[in-house]
Chain A
């Protein structure tokens, strides 16, 4: 399964990639903002997206809305520091399937990924 990780922090992308590899997902592509995420998505084969919210050029919310306009089915997990209730609801309304607030444990990321892939 190919997973797209979109985050402007290279440290955070590495942490997510490490967590994914520990739970058996090693096929990963990376984007550093919504714009490059869309480019990677356009190259095909992506079956799940993990995205940050606060990024330059195109933020995670705009990215999710654009993806949902093209692909209503792909599972999207938002991993962000935005913890306010209204932020979480806004992300869910935009089309995010589940939501993780940073900092997270690998167990939480695993739990959310497995529930999305159900």
Chain B
């Protein structure tokens, strides 16, 4: 995130984001028409959270681009080394051994690049955790609207939320055994 984006975020506008801004949860008319401070604040926080989500998704994709590039460079290096192995001057056992070691190190780099890409799943999980917070903020906002009988309720369509996201960690496959057991039980029941 650069300084202009931080400034925009602090101002609540998120203008630095290239992603289209989601519609405000509190329509401007509601704020202008005497909506309470609480209503304005919740709309402001929702806009901020949307900006954070958009910026982190964009930055995550930049990291993915870099990882992709590293993967491609290593693949190119591996090809060059393979060609070099066939060269007459590279047939000495010591040279072949060294080349194999370089190839093996290259493979390790590629594996680590793939591992790093897989770890980027944290971005989607964090986004969904924020989405859950937004969901609760909207409920509070709508409750205040009902209570005061003024302003408009949230209308912008949001993704559905995961009710277990708060417990979701970043360890891959932490729920695999549980999900597999439920799937197996369902299939057995269906067969029986």
Contact = CB atoms under 8 A, between A and B. Distances in A.
Interface size class on chain A is 35 or more
A82 B114 CA distance: 25
B163 interface: yes
A83 B159 contact: no
A84 B163 contact: yes
Interface string B153-173: 000011111111101111111
Contacts of B121: 11-12, 15, 102-104
A106 B118 contact: yes
Interface string A18-39: 1100100000000000000000
Contacts, number: 122
B131 interface: yes
B124 interface: yes
Given A83-B175, A103-B125, A106-B118, A98 B183 contact: yes
A89 interface: yes
A83 to B, nearest CB: 4
Contacts of B186: 88-89, 92
B182 A85 contact: yes
A101 interface: yes
B162 A81 contact: yes
B133 interface: no
Interface in A97-118: 98-106, 108
A103 B57 CA distance: 16
A102 B118 contact: no
B8 interface: no
B160 A55 contact: yes
Given A54-B128, A83-B164, A101 B183 contact: no
Contacts of B123: 9, 11-12
Interface of B: 57, 60-61, 64, 114, 117-118, 120-125, 127-128, 131, 157-165, 167-176, 178-179, 182-183, 186-187
9 contacts: A11-B60, A54-B131, A54-B162, A55-B159, A56-B158, A81-B125, A81-B128, A102-B121, A103-B168
